[in-house]
Amino acid sequence: MQNKTYEELLFYFTENKVFKASLFSIAATTVLGATIIAPSLPALQNHFLHIGHSVEILSKLILTIPALFMMLFSPIAGFMYEKFKKLNIIFISLFIWSLAGIAGFFLNNIYYILFSRSILGISAAFLMTGIGVLLADYYTGIRREKALALQGFFMAFGGGIFLILGGYLADLDWRYPFLVYFLGILILIFAFFQLFEPIKHTHNNHTKTLHPPFNFTKFLPVYIMAIFCMTCFYIAPTQLPFFMTQDLGIKQSNIGKCMAAASVAMALGSLLYPRVRKLFNIYEIFFIAFSIFGIGFACISLLHDFKSILIGFGLIGVGIGLITVNNNAWLFSLAYEYERPRAYGFLASSLFMGQFISPLLTQIFVHYIGMVKMVGVFSLMILGSGFLFLLFSLKNGGKIER
């Protein structure tokens, strides 16, 4: 009866719209942290030209170095969420995230900015892992897939709004977008009064011995997918702003609009996921999403006017929105309850690994074949990956674990 009462209360509170807004607002900070300063990167690079040629890679690392520390600390976060209360870690991490983000406004040394961004990445690792684990604790079954879709919507739509703001602020000065991180303090106050610590199911010692050790290889395809998709997706904020300003003469505010279009489209793609999931299996959704994703990059590679690039960003957003939710749902379908913190920690690490290596890998392509051809090559790789999933689906007769 006690468990039944808890389940009823859990359903009642977690279906509250204000509760969901507070939960998913924290999830949105992990996207906001990485992309809000993207429109200001060209101006930031110009400000630090005096340090020499290294500024080209250092300016891009300001955007992506949080991902390196998110990659390193997400598995650690997964272990800590197994041992300690989740909300305590999340609230402390959100406070540190805000302070580290705002610090960029006051710093005039690119290396100090990189250090503050590293702290931002560590705190974001704990935020993303914690929210993923909380979501799995609060929701089950179809409700979880709907919650994952809503999480994706909040992350993408919120990111889109603030990317537009970031673009306009970057036109004024490259420092101003850093002030947007003050929102973390407001979200913290909001979430403190709404979220609650889920009851952790306890087991006796005999039951614990029946648990097999964590099987990393079971989740390996999910992790590889996350690395590949984030590597491709982060071409948009790390490489394309330079192409748009230097080659096409597009204003920074319009760069913000393009990235906002990708975020809004990502939100719509995420929101559509539960309906798409009713019609297709996970492999088929990957095929559809990769096709849309790849066509978006093809538009940017082949058509060089602002409207076409805007459409390309929109298609990229829809594709990555479907892929992200689909990959999360795939992970949770494979993970037992006791595996979730660790499994999601490694997933978060994989996502951030893709973000971090993206500018390092794609810069090699840019150096040898140029920006436009690099985008074209990745477009073909993405489309090819989609067809591989179609073959997997046909081979397995549409059957896959839910």
Per DSSP, the residues of 76-126 read HHHHHHHHS-HHHHHHHHHHHHHHHHHHHHH---HHHHHHHHHHHHHHHHH
- Residue 317 and residue 322: Cα distance in Å, rounded? 9
| Residue 101, token pair as written in the block | 């983000």
Q: Both tokens of residue 396?
A: 């397995």
Return the closest-CA partner of residue 132 out of 70, 179, 192: 70
| Euclidean distance between CA atoms 401 and 385, whole angstroms | 20
38 in Cβ contact with 234 (< 8 Å):
no
Instruction: Please tell me the distance from the alpha carbon of residue 183 to that of residue 259, in angstroms, as a whole number.
Output: 20
Predicted local distance difference test score (pLDDT) of residue 205: 44
286, 292, 297, 299 alpha-carbon torsion, rounded to 10°: 170
Rounded Cα gap, residues 172 and 174, in angstroms: 7
Instruction: Report the C-alpha gap between 99 and 104 in whole angstroms.
Output: 9
pLDDT of residue 206: 44
pLDDT digits (tens, 9 = 90+) for 308-341: 899 999 999 999 999 998 998 888 888 887 788 8
The pLDDT assigned to 138 comes to 87
**Of the ranges 21-30, 45-54, 152-161, which one carries the lowest mean pLDDT score?**
152-161
- Report all structural domains of the chain as residue ranges with CATH numbers, in order of start: 14-196+215-395 (1.20.1250.20)
pLDDT of residue 284: 92
Is the predicted pLDDT of residue 71 greater than 70, yes or no? yes
pLDDT band at 16 (very low <50, low <70, confident <90, very high): confident
Give the 3-state secondary structure of residue 198: coil
Percentage of the chain surpassing pLDDT 90?
Answer: 25
Among 49-53, 174-178, 376-380, the minimum mean pLDDT is found in: 49-53
Given a cut of 90, whether residue 224 has pLDDT beyond it is yes
**What single DSSP character describes residue 218?**
G
Positive or negative CA dihedral for 318, 319, 323, 324? negative
pLDDT at 244 over 60: yes
Output the furthest CA–CA distance in the chain (Å, rounded): 69
The answer for residues whose C-beta is within 8 angstroms of residue 322's C-beta and 6 or more apart is 269, 270, 272, 273, 276, 285, 288, 289, 292
**Which of 136-145, 216-225, 232-241 has the largest mean confidence?**
216-225
User: Quick one: pLDDT band at residue 95, thresholds 50, 70, 90?
Assistant: very high
Q: In sequence order, what are the residues at sequence separation of 6 or more whose Cβ sits closer than 8 angstroms to the Cβ of residue 199?
A: 6
**Residues 355 and 234 sit within 8 Å (Cβ to Cβ):** yes
Between 163 and 306, residue with greater pLDDT: 306
Query: What is the average pLDDT value for the chain, to the nearest integer?
Result: 83
pLDDT number for residue 97 = 93
Express each pLDDT in 171-210 by its tens digit.
888 888 888 888 889 999 989 988 888 876 544 444 444 6
Tokens of 341: 């913190």
CA distances for 21 relative to 27, 28, 34, 150, 243, angstroms:
10, 10, 21, 9, 36
Task: Choose between 397 and 85: higher pLDDT.
Answer: 85
Is the pLDDT at 275 greater than 60, yes or no?
yes
The confidence band for 229, taking pLDDT boundaries of 50, 70 and 90, is: very high
Whether the pLDDT of residue 6 is over 70: the answer is no
Name which of 137, 63, 53, 129 is nearest 101 in CA terms. Answer: 63
* Residue written as token pair 């947007």: 180
The mean per-residue pLDDT over the stretch 239-247 comes to: 81
Mean pLDDT for 43-69 is 81
Residue among 342, 346, 347, 357 nearest 327 (CA): 347
The residue ranking higher by pLDDT, 144 or 97, is 97
Q: Residue 397: left (phi > 0), alpha (psi -120 to 50), or beta?
A: left
Rounded to an integer, what distance in angstroms lies between the CA atom of residue 156 and that of residue 262? 8
Q: Between 297 and 171, where is the model more confident? A: 297
> Rounded to an integer, what distance in angstroms lies between the CA atom of residue 87 and that of residue 137?
12
282-302 vs 252-279: helix axis angle to the nearest 10? 160
Q: Which is nearest to 222 in space by CA: 136, 381, 335?
A: 335
Section 87-99 average pLDDT: 94
